[in-house]
Every structure is written in C-alpha cells, then in structure tokens.
C-alpha cells in the first residue's frame, strides 16, 4: 500500500511545487515506485516534467477515477517516477465537489492507485477549500513548507486549528522550513523559536533559498537530475531521508 | 536485462545498422539524442532443472552483486551483495526480498553458474516538441559464453569449444502515457519482419548449447497401437536418460535433488519392468537385480538427506527450550552423510557401476523384438498392442487396491495400511506410464484421487518411519557412553518431544484415511477404469 504525501500550503510561493518535484524524485532515485498527482490548476509540477495533460482530461475524468485516471498517468524522464498532469479545469474542482457527501471523494480515487506505487505525492492548490479538505482526508501525511517568518507561522497555526475544528488527525501535519536565508536575522530567530516547539513537529532538515531551485523553471528538471551532488540536491535528499524515516517508523 | 515494464525486444541481424531506427524517428520530427554507450557484464544462474526460468525469473550477478529479475519484464525482485561464489543455496543469501522470492522457487536446489553475458548497448532518447522523453531505443550486442567449471553437471555441448556468435537485439522502451511514438517506431520496423524475443534468457541459454528440455520430468507420449515392448522401451529409455543426466551432479554433491531424481528414475525403471509383464527377454532379468542393488546402495544416503533437509521443520516441532538438543543429533547425521556420500560417489565413479549402466543402455538401445527372425522366440506380450494391456493392468491393480482398502477398519493393524500403500504405489506407476494413452479428462480425476490416497498413506508411513529412526537413534545414544551426559539428556528430551509430535500427526493422518479412501472408491472415473460387476 502506497503512502500518500500531500504538499500543502495556505500561502503560495513558498517552494511547495519545488518540494513536491524534488522529494518525489528523491523517493524514485531511492528505488520506490512514485507518482506525483499535480492537483494545482497552475500545473507547475507538470511543467517541470515537460508533461501536458491529454486534451480530453479534466476534473470530470479525475472524479470518475479508476481507468480514466490511470490512462492519463504519464512516465517522466526518470525511472520509477510517474505523473498525473494537472488540467486547467481543476480550477473549478470545488464546484464538482460541491455536494455534502464529497469530503472523501478524492480519497476514493487515490485508493485505487495505491497498489501500483510506494509513494503518491499530491501537489495541492493553495487556500483552504473543499479540494484541500478532500486532500487532508485522502493523504496519510500533509507536508507543509514554511518560510521562517512570523506570517508563515501564523498560517501554520491556522491550519492546525482547522484540523482540530474539523476533527482531522493533526499528527498528519509535518512542516519544514523552506526558502531559508541564514544571513537573515528574522529567519534565524523564527527557526530558533520553532525548531524545538513540540506542537509543530518541524523536520530537522531545512531547504535553503538557492538560485538553483529558482532555475528549475528554466531547466525543467528536478535539481538532482542535473548534478546530484549540488547543495540543493543534497538538501532535498536529506529532507526526504528524514521524512521517509518518519513515515516508516509510523 | 531491461528494467522497464512494457519494453519490447527484437532479435536483429548483425547487418542492421544500429542508427537505423533513431534516424527514422528523427525524420519523423522527433528530437533524437544518443546517450553514452554502456557495457555491462553479468553471470546468469539457475538450478539444474531450470526452476528460475520456469517461474519467469532470472538471477544475475554483476558488478553490484546479485539481482533477481522477472525474465519477461525485467522487473527487479531484489538484490543482494556478493562478488565471488559462496551463494549456492537460497539460505546462503542474506535475509531480504531476494531471498524471499528465491526460496519458494528453488527450494533445496543449488544455483549453478551457467553463462557469462557481456552486453554492449547503444541508447537513443526520442523526445517530442516539449523536449519531453517519449521513447528510448536501444541496440544491444550480446556476447554469451558458457561458464566452464570443473563439476558442471550438464552434458557437454556437441559443438565443441568455439564461442558462439554474438546476438543482436533492438529494444523499445516506451514511456507511460506516450503511445504514439512507440506505434511509429513499430511501424518503421515492420517491413524488417523482426522476431520479438519474449524470453531472452531462454534464447541465450539455448544459444550456448543448453538443452532446456533435458531435465523435464514428463513421461514419454505412447501410441495406443504400439507393441507393448516398444512402449516399455520408450519408458525405460527415458528413465535411463534421466539417471545418466543426474550422475555428474550426484558425484559432485551439488545438491540432494540429483540423487533423488536419479532414484525416482531408478524406481520407475524397476516398476516398469515388473508392471509391464512378459515383454522383456529372460536375458534381461539380471538387470532388475542390478538396479535393485543400485537402489540399495543409495538408500541410506537418501534417508540422511531427507533428515537433514527437515532440520528446520524438526526444530519447529519442538518448543524453544528443547531445540538445542537436536544440534548434536544433526551433526552426527551430517557426519554419517559425509561417509555415505563418499562411499556412493566412489562406487559410481568405479568400473562396476559404469559397466552396469553401459550394458543396460546397450540392451535398451538394441532390443527390437519386432525385428526378430522367424523361429526366434519373443516374450508373450512383447508384440501385443499396449492399450488393452494397460487397461487390464490398471483394472487389476485398481481392483486389488479396492479389495484391500475395503477390508481396513478403524481397528486394523498399521501393517494393513503399509501394505495398501504398496498397492497404491503400483497403481500410480501404471498411471505414470500409461496416462498418455487415455483422454486426459477421463484419467486425470482418477489420478488425482489416487494421488490423494497415496499422499495420505505415504504420510502415515513417513511418520512411522521417522519415529522408528528416532527410536534407533535413542538406543544408539544410550550405548554411546556417558561422556556428554548433559548433551545426552538434551538430545533424549528432543527426541522424546519429536516422537510425541510425530505419533500425534500419525494418528491424525490415520483418522483421515477412511474419508480419503471413500473419495477414491466413489470417484466416477474409477468405475470407468475398474468396473466391478
């Protein structure tokens, strides 16, 4: 049975898609059959892998599940790593999910896929919507990138409150520090404050702010595909190792 | 081998330019780039009876140690480190997915090094307008060579020592979700009329001269109107081939299965001679006693092999506190096995054994009663058609089994069941020899019923024999002096524990007998082969 890992942030621009792409790539390199489901209508993850969705694929096919989803999965350029590309019509996914019984619709869809993969990564759209709520129920883990600023901490607290209010399992939430600039005093202070705080359970390995990660939009490849020894590749690999250990221990 | 699912591999002639397909794809508008060529070397392993290949598996040892693949799709089942030899049995591998997948398939058989493969590979990436990889194509040159080693049990290839010609293949590795480029590549290749290789490993093994059918345990197909002597000879020749095939492996002590298969063939030969009556000349009689002698010489070794193979099973029968008591017993058994093996191997390498086998082989090759000149007497049944003889023999054996079986009640002595086991075995041999003469749907259900009955009786006998052996062992321990009093007590306790378990199991099997026999007796097809008026 595959473990489902959602990469999620209420805020945009925090390195969420970069984390999805690079963590999934690290999982595949480590020998695990891995699938990325690009659920963000912007389709950035699909773009990084140079994959376009089939013209006929969209939110309706996604919600039909089963074969309709399976036949739209595409192989990336990397062994063991597949992707279900995003469709622009996902922007209206909320409308399709709009009846009361729909909070577990996505969970059912991903359940069908778990036999074929070891890990399924979900690249989620930002904001708290019916889609994200579905994702919180479908995912085994919700990994949250946080830039170490006061505002980021606030949104993380909001997310934890939302989980509590909706009676979701708060232990699913695993935050990590993203786009960290150690030369900035604020980043250092916030990290120093939060790293040990038991209510947040931050991962130990941060992802630094690196031009190499920004350049992914040009190279259109995971950072480790270019040079596996680069600082960015190493940072994601170490983050993945820590996350994988956490997942295996349970 | 290929690591991608759905990869298609084709055999190509050496004159096909490796660049042909990439160039054609480029003409179709794809961006084509060649990757760095690669060379990989690996050594392939399998058991003597090709168990891995038969289960669609492939074990290769390369630079990174051992890898177990699916033979068709190249899916990896597991890896294990290991450079040199020393991995003969599945339990020689470290615990992990490789060993888990390997163990149920090869069981007690040894892995033999078979061929060395050197694959030179050129690979092209085919990309679409987004520069997305949509297909890989690979041209491979495969140099294969049979592994030469001293105790190789396989028959030497007829061709002699020249290295076989290299093979060439073309591999298409599609990328999930991109079917069109693959279709286009296949259309390009279509005029070349290439033959797909679904099981490359089997192809490679044959290419270096291995006979994948040689060890097959299937019985020869007989014709219903054959003279009985011809049928008997067909059966005996097959068993003779099996015996000869297993000799080298017995003498090299590769695994216990060589001797087992040898002995099964030996028993079948003897059974064929006694079950198919009056087809061999009186001059062939002495072969029967020689084969019986051959069986006797290996009885003890086979018994010891079985005990040693059951080591883990015996341990599991005992509570943990008694398990250690078994170890000295098994080391004594292992020592005795060593002595028994040396004795048998020496004899099999000797002149007497070779003479017996040569004479037996000559007889089987030359006996042709249907060519007998006028006036030369042939055995009474030799020229009679085999089908009626087979029907008659099966009906008679079946009837005897029914009569004896019906006489057995809950209070019958153990001996009655042992006798019935022999009746059952005789019937099984007839089925083994003659099954191909009858429609499968008629005889198979009856064979299965008989097999179940024989399994029941066999288990009853095994439990009995094992208890006997343990009692003997206990007696021998007592006579062995009191040097290791503590070890002795532990061993005695372990034996006691085992006998208790075995006798309980024997009782259970005994209670199942009535039901199993009833199922045999009531089998509709049984009445067809053995009508009772």
User: Could you give the residue ranges of the DSSP H alpha helices within chain A?
Assistant: 16-29, 44-48, 59-64, 67-70, 93-96, 105-113, 130-138, 150-165, 185-194, 211-214, 216-219, 223-226, 231-249
Other CB atoms closer than 10 Å to residue B13's CB: what's the count? Answer: 8
Exposure string (b/e) for B100-115, b if CB count within 10 Å is 16 or more?
Answer: ebbeebbebbbbbbbb
Q: Which residue of A has its CA nearest to B126?
A: A77
Residue partners of B201: CB distance under 8 A and separation at least 6: B1, B44, B53, B58, B71
Per-residue model confidence as pLDDT tens digits over A34-61: 999 999 988 999 999 999 887 888 888 8
> Are residues B132 and A72, on separate chains, in Cβ contact within 8 Å?
no
Q: Which residue of B has its CA nearest to A75?
A: B176
Chain B residues in contact with A82 by the CB 8 A cut-off are 176-177
C-beta of residue B454 within 8 angstroms of C-beta of residue B420: no
C-beta of residue B460 within 8 angstroms of C-beta of residue B513: yes
Give ipTM to 2 decimals: 0.81
Restricting to A residues 192-221, those with a Cβ less than 8 Å away from any Cβ of B are 220
- Contacts of B213-218 with CB under 8 Å at 24 or more apart are B214/B155, B214/B241, B214/B245, B215/B48, B215/B49, B215/B50, B215/B242, B215/B245, B215/B261, B217/B49, B217/B242, B217/B261
Whichever domain contains A224, its CATH number is: 3.40.50.300
β partners of residue B493: none
Q: What's the CA gap between A122 and A45, in Å, rounded?
A: 10
Architecture of domain B387-533: Alpha solenoid (1.40)
From first to last of its 533 residues, what are the pLDDT tens digits of chain B? 334 567 889 999 999 999 999 999 999 999 999 999 999 999 999 999 999 999 999 999 998 899 998 887 777 888 998 876 667 899 999 999 999 999 999 999 999 999 999 999 999 999 999 999 999 999 999 999 999 888 899 987 765 566 789 999 999 999 999 999 999 999 999 999 888 887 888 999 999 989 888 767 677 899 999 999 999 999 999 999 999 999 999 999 999 999 999 999 999 999 999 988 889 998 888 999 999 999 999 999 999 999 999 998 999 999 998 898 888 888 889 999 999 999 999 999 999 999 999 999 999 999 988 887 777 778 888 899 999 999 999 999 999 999 999 999 888 998 999 999 999 999 999 999 999 999 999 999 999 999 999 999 999 999 999 999 889 888 887 776 555 566 788 888 899 999 999 999 999 999 999 999 999 998 888 888 888 75
**Annotation: CATH topology of B8-207:** Hypothetical Protein Pfu-838710-001 (2.40.320)
Domain total in chain A: 1
Task: Give the Cα-Cα-Cα angle B337, B156, B147 (nearest 5 degrees).
Answer: 80
> Are residues B132 and A82, on separate chains, in Cβ contact within 8 Å?
no
The residues spanned by each domain of chain B are 8-207, 217-384, 387-533
Expressed as residue numbers, the domain containing A118 is 3-249
> Are residues A79 and B133, on separate chains, in Cβ contact within 8 Å?
no
Q: What is the CA B340 to chain-centroid distance, rounded?
A: 24
CB nearest A50 (choices: B130, B174, B176): B130
Residue partners of B449: CB distance under 8 A and separation at least 6: B519, B520, B523, B526
Fold matches, B8-207 and B387-533 = no
CA atoms within 13 A on the CB side of B110: 20
> Are residues A79 and B176, on separate chains, in Cβ contact within 8 Å?
no
Per-residue model confidence as pLDDT tens digits over A195-233: 878 788 899 999 999 999 999 988 999 999 988 889 999
Cβ-Cβ pairs closer than 8 A, A with B, add up to: 31
Architecture of domain B217-384: Alpha solenoid (1.40)
> Are residues A73 and B176, on separate chains, in Cβ contact within 8 Å?
yes
CB nearest B132 (choices: A51, A72, A82): A51
Chain B residues in contact with A77 by the CB 8 A cut-off are 132-133, 175
């Amino acid at each position: 049975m595959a473990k489902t890992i959602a990469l999620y942030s209420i805020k945009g621009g925090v390195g969420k898609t970069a984390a999805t792409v690079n963590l999934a790539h690290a999982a595949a390199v480590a020998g695990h059959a891995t699938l990325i489901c690009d659920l963000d209508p912007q389709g950035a993850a699909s773009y990084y892998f140079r994959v376009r969705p089939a013209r006929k694929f969209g939110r309706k096919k996604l919600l039909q599940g089963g074969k309709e989803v399976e036949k739209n999965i595409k192989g990336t350029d990397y062994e063991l790593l597949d992707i279900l590309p995003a469709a622009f019509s996902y922007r209206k996914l909320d409308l399709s999910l709009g009846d009361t019984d729909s909070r577990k619709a996505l969970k059912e869809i991903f359940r069908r896929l778990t036999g074929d993969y070891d890990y399924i990564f979900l690249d989620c759209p930002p904001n708290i919507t019916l889609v994200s709520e579905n994702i919180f129920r479908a995912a085994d883990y919700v990994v949250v990138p946080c830039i170490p600023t006061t505002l980021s901490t606030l949104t993380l607290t909001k997310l934890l409150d939302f989980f509590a209010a909706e009676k979701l399992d708060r232990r699913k939430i695993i935050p990590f520090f993203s786009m960290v600039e150690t030369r900035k005093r604020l980043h250092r202070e916030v990290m120093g404050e939060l790293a040990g705080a038991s209510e947040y359970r931050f991962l130990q390995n941060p992802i630094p702010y690196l031009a190499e990660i920004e350049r992914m939009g040009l190279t259109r490849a995971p950072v480790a595909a270019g040079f596996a020894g680069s600082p960015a590749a190493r940072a994601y690999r170490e983050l993945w190792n820590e996350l994988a250990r956490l997942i295996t221990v349970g | 081998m290929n690591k991608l699912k759905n990869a298609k591999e084709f055999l190509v002639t050496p004159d096909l330019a490796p660049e042909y397909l990439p160039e054609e794809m480029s003409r179709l508008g794809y961006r084509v780039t060649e990757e760095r060529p690669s060379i990989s070397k690996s050594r392939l392993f399998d058991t003597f009876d090709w168990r891995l290949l038969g289960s669609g598996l492939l074990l290769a040892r390369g630079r990174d140690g051992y890898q177990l693949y699916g033979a068709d799709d190249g899916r990896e089942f597991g890896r294990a480190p290991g450079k040199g030899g020393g991995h003969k049995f599945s339990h020689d591998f470290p615990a992990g997915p490789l060993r888990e997948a390997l163990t149920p398939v090869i069981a007690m058989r040894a892995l033999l090094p078979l061929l060395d493969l050197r694959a030179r590979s050129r690979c092209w990436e085919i990309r679409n307008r987004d520069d997305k990889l949509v297909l890989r194509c690979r041209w491979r040159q495969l140099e294969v060579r049979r592994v030469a080693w001293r105790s190789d049990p396989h028959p030497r290839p007829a061709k002699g020592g020249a290295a076989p010609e290299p093979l060439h293949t073309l591999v298409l590795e599609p990328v999930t979700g991109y079917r069109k480029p693959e279709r286009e590549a296949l259309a390009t290749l279509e005029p070349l009329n290439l033959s797909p290789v679904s099981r490359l490993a089997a192809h490679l093994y044959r290419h270096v001269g291995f006979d994948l059918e040689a060890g097959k345990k299937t019985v020869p197909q007989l014709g219903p109107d054959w003279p009985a002597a011809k049928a008997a000879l067909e059966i005996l020749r097959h068993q003779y081939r099996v015996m000869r095939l297993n000799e080298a492996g017995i003498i090299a002590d590769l695994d216990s299965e060589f001797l087992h298969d040898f002995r099964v063939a030996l028993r079948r030969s003897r059974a064929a001679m006694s079950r198919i009556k009056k087809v061999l000349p009186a001059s062939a009689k002495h072969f029967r006693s020689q084969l019986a002698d051959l069986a006797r010489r290996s009885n003890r070794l086979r018994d010891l092999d079985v005990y040693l193979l059951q080591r883990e099973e015996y341990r599991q029968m005992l509570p943990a506190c008694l398990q250690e008591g078994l170890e000295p017993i098994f080391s004594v058994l292992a020592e005795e096995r060593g002595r028994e093996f040396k004795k048998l191997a020496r004899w099999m390498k000797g002149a007497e054994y070779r003479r017996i086998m040569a004479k037996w082989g000559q007889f089987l090759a030359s006996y042709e009663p249907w060519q007998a000149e006028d006036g030369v007497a042939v055995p009474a049944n030799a020229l009679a058609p085999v089908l009626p003889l087979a029907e008659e023999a099966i009906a008679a054996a079946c009837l005897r089994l029914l009569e004896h079986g019906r006489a057995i009640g809950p209070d019958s002595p153990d001996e009655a069941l042992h006798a019935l086991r022999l009746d059952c075995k005789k019937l099984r041999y007839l089925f083994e020899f003659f099954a191909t003469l009858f429609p499968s749907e008629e005889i198979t259900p009856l064979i299965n019923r008989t097999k179940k009955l024989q399994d029941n009786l066999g288990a009853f006998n095994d439990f009995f024999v094992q208890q006997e052996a343990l009692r003997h062992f206990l007696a021998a321990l007592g006579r062995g002096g009191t040097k290791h009093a503590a070890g002795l007590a532990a061993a005695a306790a372990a034996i006691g524990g085992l006998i208790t378990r075995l006798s309980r199991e024997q009782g259970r099997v005994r209670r199942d007998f009535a039901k199993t026999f009833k199922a045999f007796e009531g089998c509709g097809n049984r009445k067809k082969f053995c009508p009772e008026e």
